[in-house]
């Protein structure tokens, strides 16, 4: 009789094509993406998104995403995270101490998803509207106790065979206090290095570094223009040459700075700019069908409240309640194969776990040689 029941269930599972999942992190029934594009809107809370949506008269590309969730953003050391710990949660899957990059709370170096991806034959890229050495992009490639050691952080960019880097921060490579010429070192490693181009219509051999400014790029309305959407489109076309797949992180860095300044125009123009880059990524993902696009934030900045608005005229009445980061959950939007995994409420570190699993990368924190 018992054998009969087992046979029945075995036949039942075979017939419906279902194998019971051994655990939460093994979605055996999920179609996995070849590529992942992760957008981080620094400081982008729900109110920022809705303010931009209203100012834009009821349209944002990111709202096309069929799956949404919320992440809890506290760091290992603080209820309110900074961008170093916030980005390390995404890059390493570890709750880290504020102001650190790519190390866990015990100062153990964590291998980042970008490093795992490179080791497994995927192409990788980082794009930001800040210096590329600033906390959010740097946490994907550097391992440091302090996010402020910019020249030391820049040297870490030589340790990983990242394929595409586009952002500010050229002075941390070219005009360093220690006199080292990291531009020459990048070129010796086979990179094409482009300094301060007037257009982002780049096409390159496989590995390319584009420094868009000596330090940070200007804000969108102060001369940066469409750098982010154009760089996004170009990076995708370069990285997509690798049939194994790619991992690309794109940061809307200055949404946070608008929040700190309590400047709603700054917040909105930076958010719409990042959303235009999201539009480029979603167009690609829709066309190719093998790319997961995730849009999230490391924390909220400014305690923004939308008190009133008009979707027809695009006017809003807002109030900032803080000049710092706040502790509220921030949203996650997802589109493409594996997007359903991002529904629900979870820790920011789970974004790493889900991405690693979906890219079939080994998910473990391995001790590396500690950086100086």
Instruction: Count Cβ atoms within 10 A of the Cβ of residue 284 and give its class: 0-12 exposed, 13-18 middle, 19 or more buried.
Output: buried
Residue of 33, 34, 37, 42 interacting with Mg ion (CB under 5 A): 42
From CA 198, how far away is CA 180, in angstroms rounded?
26
Instruction: Say whether residue 269 binds Zn ion (CB under 5 A).
Output: no
Shortest reach from residue 330's CB to Zn ion, in Å? 13
Q: Which stretch binds Mg ion (CB under 5 A): 39-47, 155-163, 208-216, 304-312?
A: 39-47
Residues near Mg ion (CB under 5 A), total = 4
From CA 125, how far away is CA 129, in angstroms rounded?
14
Instruction: Say whether residue 136 binds Mg ion (CB under 5 A).
Output: yes
Instruction: Say whether residue 133 binds Mg ion (CB under 5 A).
Output: no
Q: Which stretch binds Mg ion (CB under 5 A): 27-35, 73-81, 129-137, 361-369?
A: 129-137
Instruction: Say whether residue 256 binds Zn ion (CB under 5 A).
Output: yes
* Interface mask toward Zn ion for 44-83; x: CB under 5 A: ----------------------------------------
Shortest reach from residue 19's CB to Zn ion, in Å? 45
| Residue placing its CB nearer to Zn ion in the complex, 230 or 256 | 256
Instruction: Say whether residue 163 binds Zn ion (CB under 5 A).
Output: no
Residue of 73, 75, 83, 133 interacting with Mg ion (CB under 5 A): 83
Residues near Zn ion (CB under 5 A), total = 1
Residue of 124, 253, 291, 301 interacting with Mg ion (CB under 5 A): 253
From CA 29, how far away is CA 341, in angstroms rounded?
11
Shortest reach from residue 44's CB to Zn ion, in Å? 11
Q: What are the residue ranges of helices labelled H in 240-362?
A: 255-260, 264-288, 349-358
Q: Which stretch binds Zn ion (CB under 5 A): 157-165, 205-213, 237-245, 250-258?
A: 250-258
| Residue placing its CB nearer to Mg ion in the complex, 191 or 211 | 211
Binding site for Zn ion (CB under 5 A): 256
Binding site for Mg ion (CB under 5 A): 42, 83, 136, 253
């Amino acid at each position: 009789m018992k054998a009969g029941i087992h046979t029945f269930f075995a036949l039942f599972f075979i017939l419906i094509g279902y194998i019971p999942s051994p655990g939460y992190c093994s979605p055996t029934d999920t179609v996995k993406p070849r590529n992942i594009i992760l957008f981080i809107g620094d400081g982008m809370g729900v109110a920022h998104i809705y303010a931009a949506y209203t100012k834009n008269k009821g349209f944002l590309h990111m709202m096309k995403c069929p799956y949404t969730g919320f992440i809890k953003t506290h760091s290992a050391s603080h209820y309110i995270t900074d961008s170093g710990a916030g980005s390390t949660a995404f890059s390493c899957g570890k709750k880290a101490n504020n102001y650190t990059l790519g190390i866990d709370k015990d100062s153990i170096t964590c291998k980042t998803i970008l490093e795992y991806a490179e080791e497994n034959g995927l192409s990788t890229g980082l794009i930001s509207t800040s210096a590329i050495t600033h906390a959010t992009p740097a946490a994907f490639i550097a391992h440091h106790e302090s996010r402020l050691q910019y020249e030391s952080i820049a040297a870490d960019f030589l340790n990983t065979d990242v394929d595409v880097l586009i952002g500010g921060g050229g002075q941390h490579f070219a005009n360093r206090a220690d006199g080292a010429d990291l531009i020459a070192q990048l070129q010796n490693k086979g990179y094409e290095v482009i300094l301060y181009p007037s257009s982002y219509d780049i096409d390159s051999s496989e590995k390319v570094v584009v420094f868009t400014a000596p330090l940070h790029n200007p804000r969108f309305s102060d001369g940066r223009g469409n750098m982010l959407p154009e760089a996004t489109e170009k990076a995708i076309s370069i990285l997509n040459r690798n049939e194994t797949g790619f991992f690309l992180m794109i940061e809307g860095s200055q949404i946070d700075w608008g929040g700190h300044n309590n400047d709603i125009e700054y917040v909105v123009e930076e958010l719409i700019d990042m959303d235009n880059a999201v539009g480029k990524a979603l167009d690609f993902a829709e066309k190719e069908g093998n790319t997961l696009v995730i849009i999230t934030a490391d924390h909220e900045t400014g305690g923004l409240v939308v008190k009133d608005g008009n979707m027809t005229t695009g006017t809003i009445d807002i109030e900032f309640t803080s000049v710092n980061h706040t502790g509220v959950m921030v949203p996650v939007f997802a589109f493409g194969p594996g997007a359903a995994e991002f529904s629900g409420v979870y820790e920011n570190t789970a974004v790493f776990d889900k991405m690693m699993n979906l890219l079939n990368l080994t998910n473990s924190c391995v001790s590396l040689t500690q950086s100086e």
